[in-house]
Amino acid sequence: MNRDPRAAGLAADIAEALQIGARALRDGKPAQAEALFKQACQRAPTHPEPLRYLALVELHTRRAPRAIATLERALALAPEDALLHADLGTARAACGEFESALTSWRRACALDPDQPLPWFNLGRNLQQLGDTQGAIDALERAVLLAPELLPARVLLGDALAHAGRFDAAARSYREALRLQPASGDAWRGLSNIKTTPLGDADLLTLRAQLARSGTAPSDRVAMGHALGKAEEDRGALAAALAAFTAANALQERLTPWRPDAFEAFAAQSLQASAALPAPVDPSLGREVIFIVGLPRSGSTLIEQILASHPEVEAGSELTDLGIVIQRESVRRQQPYPQWVPRASAADWQRLGQEYLTRTVRWRSQRPRMTDKQPDNWKHAGILRAMLPGATVIETRRDPRETAWSCFKQQFYSQPHFANTMEHIALYLQRCEQAMDSYRSRDPAHIHLHRLEDLLAAPEPRIRALLEDCGLTFDPACLSPHAGARSVRTASAAQVRQPLRAATAQALAYGALLDPLWSLLKLPLSAL
């Protein structure tokens, strides 16, 4: 049996135990694997490889802090081991220590620059942190070292698209599809370049791949959405609706969304945030502009406009507010929003400062920042205590266009409300009702902006938007398409087009979407 070079210096039976443990971990037997790895560590306490395997099982069983400690013990024995640094980066990222994770991956790349996976991990996480050019550089290196590495091809396409390099992105996605014609992630990326329609050859390929058995359900969902987009682009609207409906139905079966839990949460949030203590520092959070509402309602365009201002850095869809609230729930051992009425002004001050600390990197170049996480509307009610100086911009679009755009967009995060028309209508209505209440409680900081109004009269509406955010007018905000920033959403291509009057894509479907209009309590197309 050929021995792993990394096991050099280990007794043969210890090296064999590591391989048996690795197979046990792959077979879903982590307890057996851990016992073997711990025994190997005891028998070879000065060798780093048993410790590395033990850290892997700790990561697999979601004990990332222990994995970090184990890998640091291994690195004390072999400080120049690139694989240990790469694994430490993964463990640190699992703990949310992203800057430290980047340091580990960069160290791994420097120690062994011919290994593709550290470059891949570095690129993936640089992209998540908003360093799109750095991500492109790292992912291009990964692809050069491992041309058949499918995830690197797809993520490189994503990064190129976010940077506005759509032709290069399409080439990367198509190279991924050459490797795997049923790659749902590649089809999703390609169809998300919404300004470039898929061609007839793409239609034939999608239909053929969807007709095959054995394709992973997640790939079928993504290909179904891509097929719907291709049918819509060629005017076959009934076929487009059928494709979107089938894809969403499959996703809903895989990850059902719970409307009852959502309704209960929305009602509890409204009630719990009705009375809050006066803030310790009313200006806390003045640096932050939250952009909230439904996805596909114009929020990316609003952010692009604000990011054209010399004082504003675009943070895109940040998860920090939700993380801060979730950590407080864990600390209190009580789910949000149940603990909200018991939080003191000092508690809210502490939580606000925690959010500002977590997001400080988005204010390193400019004094103000945007946080465009649409779901933050669920927390808008507590911001007047937690970040009382922050501005909240709610974006709304014609509900027909918002609802239809959500239905035909595949969302990364699941379960999601957008998989059925009934759930979209419910979510839209509850979101607007809640935001109307929150705005009545804090009208000085929560402002409503409608996409159609902005597109019909750009300059006066952009001036009003800047005024609501406490920003002076800057002419660059009138040409948001000229901005060079990374746009890390499905609207990356659309917001790089000049402002133009709104187009009514949903209405083109006519009576085909009457069921959706009925759910939205809007007139049917036939009336």
User: What is the DSSP annotation of 219-244?
Assistant: HHHHHHHHHHHHHHHTT-HHHHHHHH
Question: For position 128, what pLDDT does the model report?
Answer: 84
pLDDT recorded at residue 526: 45
Query: Nearest 5°: phi and psi at 315?
Result: -90, -20
Distance between CA atoms of residues 395 and 300, nearest Å:
10
Is there a contact between 263 and 368 (Cβ–Cβ < 8 Å)? no
Residue 372 has pLDDT above 70, yes or no: yes
pLDDT reported for residue 359: 95
Which residues 6+ apart lie within 8 Å of 479 measured at CB? 308, 498
Q: How high does pLDDT run on average in the chain?
A: 92
Q: What is the pLDDT of residues 256-282, one digit of tens each?
A: 999 999 999 999 999 999 999 999 999
Whether 485 has a pLDDT exceeding 60, the answer reads no
Q: Per residue in 328-341, pLDDT tens?
A: 999 999 999 999 99
pLDDT of amino acid 1: 47
Q: Both tokens of residue 496?
A: 């790089």
- Give pLDDT, residue 100: 93
The pTM assigned to this predicted structure is 0.85
Task: Label residue 489 by pLDDT band (50, 70, 90).
Answer: low
The predicted pLDDT at position 499 comes to: 61
Distance CA 230, CA 290 (A): 34
* 129 — pLDDT class (breaks 50, 70, 90): confident
Q: Which among 353, 224, 340, 342 has a CA at the least distance from the CA of 280?
A: 353
Average confidence (pLDDT) over 313-323: 93
| pLDDT, average across residues 43-65 | 95
| Residue 156: pLDDT band with limits 50, 70, 90 | very high
pLDDT reading at 369 higher than 50: yes
Residue 488 has pLDDT above 60, yes or no: no
Per-residue pLDDT at 12 exceeds 50: yes
Tokens at residue 124, please? Answer: 């993936």
Q: Which pLDDT band holds residue 503 (cuts at 50, 70, 90)?
A: low
Position 497 scores a pLDDT of: 55
- At 467-476, the pLDDT tens digits run 999 999 999 9
The whole-number pLDDT of residue 96 equals 82
Closest C-alpha to 509, from 500, 517, 519? 517
The mean pLDDT of 183-195, rounded to a whole number, is 91
- Tokens describing residue 49: 């490889």
Tens-place pLDDT, residues 55-112? 999 999 999 999 999 999 999 999 999 999 999 999 999 998 888 999 999 999 999 9
